Amino acid sequence: MLAPETDVSDSALPQEILVGGTWARRLPCIEVRNPFDGQLAGLISSGSAEDVREAVDRAEASLAIAFPSHARYDVLQRAAARIEAQAEEYARDIAAEGSKTIREARREPPRAANLLRLSAEEGRHITGETLPFDSRAGSENRIGYYFRVPAGVVAAIAPFNDPLAVAAHKVGPALAAGNAVVLKPSLATPLSALRLARDLMEAGLPEGRLSVITGHDLEVGQTLVTDPRVRVVSFTGGVVTGDRIARSVGIKKLLMDLGSNSPVIVLPDADLEKAVPAIAAGAFAQAGQNCIGVQRVLIHRAIYPEFTRRFLEKVATLKTGCSRDESTDVCAMISESQATRVEEWNAEAVGGGARVLCGGGRCGAVFEPTVLEHVPFGVRLDRDEVYGPVVSLYSVGSLDEAIEVANSVRYSIHAAIFTESIRDAFTAVRRLDVGGVIVNDSTDYRLDVMPFGGPKMSGIGREGIRFAIEGMTETRVVCFNL
């Protein structure tokens, strides 16, 4: 929940933005409020297009100053240690500003620290290889190789759902590769990204290598991604915004994670003791606001009644409430408008014949954990990314039918299958049109060394440390004519 921009007294000044190594306060400020109860989480500066241009100026200038890989390694390692030392402060910021429970928020700082350490290590192994120039007649006297160089200035735009981890996912590889970064965090959840910037600067990051600008999308975000000096845009968010960025940025590298509509297949031989809690956690963690959260469960009809009974029993144990409450399992969505959107999608499905098995109610920004069946093919809950605490159950007659249904949507980051059959598992691996297939766990499993992303409308390129570094560097060929 974001309040309008407001003037404040000197006793309640907003957090500063980082512009090329210099901390600066900008008024009027923007209030960041918890979406459950509207409690003030913090005040932030409202950055401007001019701040963005200055940040890019300083980023470009910083690239002319040596910042060797061993120095980058040391900075990232020191910053990781600082994150670990302040893990609880980070977690409380995340729970206060967003839609993660405090227990979920506590998992982000260790992950972010690990991301920086992985980036530091991977940055020491950015290599090329020799090239066989004598493979063509007339080039026998040539010898050479290629190596990778920093792309330059990276624009990084992070979402609200994993505000610290995704910021680290963008900043860590970019810095490890030798780039300069201008980060725009979500207006809804900027606090942990600003804390991360302070830790990186305290760890010895040279001035100009990082800027963090908070502000409105149409001013800060659009100015940033369209600046011709920016060579890479790394964006995580919705497909509509991603499409708008892709159409406006000009000729530059794009790395985009644009969401999913994740299916889980449950076959008759599945271990339901393992499948039911994993799928429930994958569907309702972070109030369903997760690009690899479970949205569709495709259950073989032979076990559909038993799976459904167990699943509803599990969902009934989930407690909704404030993100700061230690006992909360599912907290508010990021805003009441988003909860209202999910309510509308739910009503559309019910109007088309879907049956609500549990949940379906909304109170402010809280949407109850909801399970539906008989969802008509083609309604928004079926075809698009719901990004909320709603999961749909489908009865299927075979693995072939399940794969066909799984592949029927335009999103495709992860799919999952629960089975004890190695043959069926590999059939799914071969035929599911996705970026990753998770066997005997939910789609919500991610390790940060994995190539992360998917085909279709799910994005461009891959995250995951090594793969992000590849996307944020360029190859340079060297050829000697002897």
For residue 209, the domain's CATH number is 3.40.605.10
Domain for residue 172, yes or no?
yes
The distance of Cα 238 from the centroid of its chain, to the nearest Å, equals 10
Residue 155 forms beta bridges with which residues? 182, 233
In a 3-state reduction of DSSP, which class is residue 451?
coil
Do 280 and 317 lie in a common domain?
yes
Q: What is the mean pLDDT of residues 255-261?
A: 95
Alpha helix stretches (DSSP H) within 365-443? 380-383, 399-406, 422-431
For residue 13, what pLDDT band results from cuts at 50, 70 and 90?
Answer: confident
pTM: 0.94
Does residue 441 carry a catalytic annotation? no
Query: How far apart are alpha carbons 7 and 129 in whole angstroms?
Result: 57
Residues 6+ apart with CB under 8 A from 40: 31, 32, 33, 34
Do 247 and 286 lie in a common domain?
no
Strand duo 142-150 + 355-358: pairing: unpaired
Do 252 and 327 lie in a common domain?
no
Sort residue 288 into left (φ over 0), alpha (ψ -120 to 50) or beta: left
For residue 4, what pLDDT band results from cuts at 50, 70 and 90?
Answer: low
Choosing from 162, 227, 257, 329, the catalytic residue is 257
Q: What is the mean pLDDT of residues 126-136?
A: 96
Choosing from 93, 227, 291, 444, the catalytic residue is 291
Domain for residue 453, yes or no?
no
Domain for residue 149, yes or no?
yes
Do 302 and 415 lie in a common domain?
yes
Q: What is the mean pLDDT of residues 463-470?
A: 96
Q: What is the CB neighbour count within 10 angstroms for residue 66?
A: 8
Do 297 and 418 lie in a common domain?
yes
For residue 11, what pLDDT band results from cuts at 50, 70 and 90?
Answer: very low
3-state class percentages of the chain: helix first, strand second, coil last, to nearest 5: 40, 25, 35
Q: CA angle 299-300-301, nearest 5°?
A: 110
Domain count, the chain: 2
In a 3-state reduction of DSSP, which class is residue 270?
coil
For the stretch 25-30, contacts whose Cβ atoms lie closer than 8 Å and that sit 24 or more positions apart, written own/partner, are 26/51, 29/5, 30/2, 30/3, 30/5, 30/6, 30/187, 30/214, 30/215
Do 311 and 379 lie in a common domain?
yes
Domain for residue 146, yes or no?
yes
Do 241 and 272 lie in a common domain?
no
Do 254 and 316 lie in a common domain?
no
Q: What is the mean pLDDT of residues 237-248?
A: 94
- pLDDT over 60 (residue 465): yes
Do 62 and 173 lie in a common domain?
yes
CATH number at residue 351: 3.40.309.10
Domain for residue 428, yes or no?
yes
Query: How far apart are alpha carbons 403 and 393 in whole angstroms?
Result: 15
Do 217 and 271 lie in a common domain?
no
Does residue 257 carry a catalytic annotation? yes
Domain for residue 1, yes or no?
no
- Residue 5 is predicted with a pLDDT of 58
What mean pLDDT, rounded, does the chain reach? 95
For residue 218, what pLDDT band results from cuts at 50, 70 and 90?
Answer: confident
With 0-12 / 13-18 / 19 or more C-beta atoms within 10 angstroms meaning exposed / middle / buried, residue 232 is buried
pLDDT 10s digits, 423-452: 999 999 999 999 999 999 999 999 999 999
Domain for residue 276, yes or no?
yes
For residue 6, what pLDDT band results from cuts at 50, 70 and 90?
Answer: low
Query: How far apart are alpha carbons 469 and 461 in whole angstroms?
Result: 11
Strand duo 370-373 + 355-358: pairing: antiparallel
Take residue 135 and report the two structure tokens written for it: 């493979």
Domain for residue 452, yes or no?
no
Do 252 and 296 lie in a common domain?
no
Domain span including residue 412: 262-447
Do 303 and 377 lie in a common domain?
yes
Task: Estimate the crossing angle of helix 108-123 against helix 69-85, to 10 degrees.
Answer: 170
Strand duo 390-396 + 362-363: pairing: unpaired
- Residue 100 is predicted with a pLDDT of 95
